[in-house]
């Protein structure tokens, strides 16, 4: 029987990486509540039109990266390549207009048919935050400040910079785009093959080409600032002054454009040079035109998405808190004692692991590897002078264990309730790194 392989570009995440992944999500959940964003869940697949119409037919995402298939009714469905389009559809379908302006947060898997590489997968995961039905720059500011706080709380903000730009309103953007096409047409033959292609499909993209043949023309290319009308300028000014007031650092990136057609005004990316070719860790912008393309009324909105895998890589290995208590069963006849104690300890809210298989030697090896705060040993050695003990309950705590609550619980409550002892029996000594306390129950 041959084991089927996992699909290319999917990942099985485990251990420290999985902990880092969970840590990113948990931090996002916590921060999103601080900003009072409401949680939403959407399907992972939609009718293909949801994405093809909103993202722009000519974008690479739509033209070659979507996971599309026909269902049994011959309807074309697509695994979501991004969140925004699906959220916009849900907003219209469910009448969420009544909640506008609506602050939404979600996270989960997305799918794109691409060659995998560092920080890029066919099934990848994003955090997502959107404000729908808010035309004011204030919404952009709130979203950016939240993103900034998220990165800071994750401890990854060092070396990550906020690149900020404006694409102006629809009219500004079109005028700029036309000027760029004009300009680059003049140099057409000198451009890279990729950029000659971009000239027809997505001229804004030429601006962040990595090809040296293109870079020489960038300095003299038309600037968006020259095409912004007064309104667009004022909008951008309010965004930047809001960020300054909130203490969020940013860098103007006049050639920053976003890949999808629906962006207007604010566009931004938090980038780092620590992730190889995939420098963008969080990106987004304003998409005032999107909801109309799905048949809704004109609805201004802003949002961003962040790659969980990329954030997790910046976070690095993340280890869960150490096990608080490990119970080592040394005498198999007393197995019920471990069941009793473990249940009690866990119900009390302390993490606990039981080691009760393998040779006694292996059990201690295992417990040492778990590196617990406290080790509890269940033993039936009859080694007292009068020989009337039938169970012994010892625990050893790391000398540095700064958990008086846990120590108190174990010494006083458990020991008294279960063993009906009077307390320490005087057997108390230091062994290496551990303080060892020993209790014995008498009958």
Partner RNA sequence: GCGAUCGUAGCUCAGUUGGUUAGAGCGCCGGCUUGUGGUGCCGGAGGUCGUGGGUUCGAGACCCAUCGGUCGCCCCA
Q: Out of 44, 77, 407, 436, which residue is the one contacting RNA (CB under 7 A)?
A: 436
Of the pair 117, 241, the CB lying nearest RNA is at 117
Q: Which two tokens stand for residue 399?
A: 């000398």
Asked whether position 38 contacts RNA by CB under 7 A, the answer is no
Q: Are 142 and 111 in contact (CB under 8 A)?
A: no
Asked whether position 98 contacts RNA by CB under 7 A, the answer is no
Strand order in the sheet with 251-252: 38-39, 102-111, 123-132, 301-307, 280-286, 264-272, 160-166, 251-252
Strand, coil or helix: what is 284? Answer: strand
Asked whether position 43 contacts RNA by CB under 7 A, the answer is no
Q: Which residue has the tokens 């969970």?
A: 22
Which residues sit opposite 129 in a β-bridge?
Answer: 105, 304
Q: Out of 86, 289, 307, 372, which residue is the one contacting RNA (CB under 7 A)?
A: 307
- In angstroms, rounded to a whole number, what is the distance separating the alpha carbons of residues 203 and 199? 4
- Return the residues of window 321-380 that contact RNA according to CB under 7 A: 328, 330, 358-362, 364-365, 368-369, 371, 375, 377, 379
Which residues sit opposite 271 in a β-bridge?
Answer: 161, 280
CA nearest neighbour of 110 among 369, 329, 277, 306: 306
Contact segment (CB under 7 A) with RNA among 39-47, 165-173, 291-299, 300-308 equals 300-308
Closest distance of CB 432 from RNA, Å = 4
Of the pair 91, 268, the CB lying nearest RNA is at 268
Q: Out of 134, 139, 282, 378, which residue is the one contacting RNA (CB under 7 A)?
A: 282
Asked whether position 3 contacts RNA by CB under 7 A, the answer is no
- Return the residues of window 121-140 that contact RNA according to CB under 7 A: 121, 124, 126
Of the pair 116, 254, the CB lying nearest RNA is at 116
Ramachandran class of 355: left when φ > 0, alpha when ψ lies in -120 to 50, beta otherwise: beta
Q: Out of 28, 54, 78, 82, which residue is the one contacting RNA (CB under 7 A)?
A: 82
Q: Using CB atoms within 10 A of its CB, is residue 5 exposed (0-12), middle (13-18) or buried (19+)?
A: exposed
Site string for RNA, 233-272 (x = CB under 7 A): -------------------------xxx--------x---
- Return the residues of window 391-410 that contact RNA according to CB under 7 A: 392, 394, 396
Q: Which residue has the tokens 């249940």?
A: 343
Asked whether position 151 contacts RNA by CB under 7 A, the answer is no
Q: Are 408 and 353 in contact (CB under 8 A)?
A: no
Strand, coil or helix: what is 198? Answer: helix
- In angstroms, rounded to a whole number, what is the distance separating the alpha carbons of residues 128 and 287? 14
Contact segment (CB under 7 A) with RNA among 17-25, 114-122, 164-172, 404-412 equals 114-122
- In angstroms, rounded to a whole number, what is the distance separating the alpha carbons of residues 304 and 323? 37
Q: Out of 233, 280, 356, 442, which residue is the one contacting RNA (CB under 7 A)?
A: 280
- In angstroms, rounded to a whole number, what is the distance separating the alpha carbons of residues 361 and 420? 29
Q: Are 158 and 339 in contact (CB under 8 A)?
A: no
Of the pair 98, 359, the CB lying nearest RNA is at 359
Binding site for RNA (CB under 7 A): 5-6, 8-9, 59-61, 65, 82, 112, 114-121, 124, 126, 194, 198, 202, 205, 209-211, 258-260, 269, 276-284, 305-307, 309-310, 328, 330, 358-362, 364-365, 368-369, 371, 375, 377, 379, 383, 392, 394, 396, 427, 431-432, 434, 436, 438
């Amino acid at each position: 029987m041959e084991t089927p392989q996992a699909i290319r570009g999917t990942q099985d995440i485990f251990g420290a990486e999985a902990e880092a992944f969970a840590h990113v999500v948990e931090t996002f959940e916590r921060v999103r509540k601080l900003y009072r964003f409401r949680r939403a869940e959407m399907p992972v697949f939609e009718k293909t039109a949801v994405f093809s119409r909103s993202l722009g037919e000519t974008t690479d995402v739509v033209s070659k990266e979507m996971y599309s298939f026909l269902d049994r009714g011959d309807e074309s469905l697509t695994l979501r390549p991004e969140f925004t389009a699906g959220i916009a559809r849900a907003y219209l379908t469910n009448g969420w207009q009544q909640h506008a302006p609506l602050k939404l947060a979600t996270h989960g898997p997305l799918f794109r048919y691409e060659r995998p590489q560092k920080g890029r997968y066919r099934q990848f995961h994003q955090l997502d935050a959107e404000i729908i039905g808010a035309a004011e720059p204030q919404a952009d500011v709130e979203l950016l400040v939240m993103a900034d706080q998220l990165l800071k709380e994750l401890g990854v903000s060092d070396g990550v910079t906020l690149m900020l730009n404006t694409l102006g309103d629809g009219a500004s953007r079109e005028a700029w785009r036309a000027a760029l096409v004009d300009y680059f047409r003049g140099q057409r033959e000198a451009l890279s093959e990729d950029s000659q292609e971009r000239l027809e499909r997505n001229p804004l993209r030429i601006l962040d080409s990595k090809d040296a043949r293109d870079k020489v023309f960038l300095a003299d290319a038309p600037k968006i600032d020259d095409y912004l009308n007064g309104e667009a300028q004022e909008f951008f000014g309010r965004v930047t002054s809001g960020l300054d007031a909130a203490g969020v650092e940013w860098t103007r990136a006049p050639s920053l454009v976003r890949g999808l057609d629906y962006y207007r005004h604010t566009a931004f990316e938090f980038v780092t040079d620590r992730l190889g070719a995939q420098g963008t860790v969080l990106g987004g912008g304003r998409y005032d035109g999107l909801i109309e393309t799905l048949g809704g009324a004109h609805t201004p909105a802003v949002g961003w998405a962040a790659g969980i895998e990329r954030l997790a890589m910046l976070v690095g290995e993340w280890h869960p808190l150490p096990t608080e208590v490990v119970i080592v069963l040394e005498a198999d006849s007393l197995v019920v004692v471990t069941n009793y104690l473990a249940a009690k300890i866990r119900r009390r809210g302390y993490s606990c692991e039981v080691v009760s298989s393998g040779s006694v030697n292996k059990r201690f090896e295992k417990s040492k590897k778990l590196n617990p705060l406290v080790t509890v040993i269940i033993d039936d050695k009859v080694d007292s002078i009068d020989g009337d003990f039938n169970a012994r309950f010892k625990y050893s705590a790391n000398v540095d264990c700064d958990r008086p609550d846990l120590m108190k619980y174990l010494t006083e409550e458990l020991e008294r309730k279960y063993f009906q002892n009077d307390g320490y029996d005087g057997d108390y000594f230091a062994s290496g790194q551990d303080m060892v306390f020993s209790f014995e129950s008498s009958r």
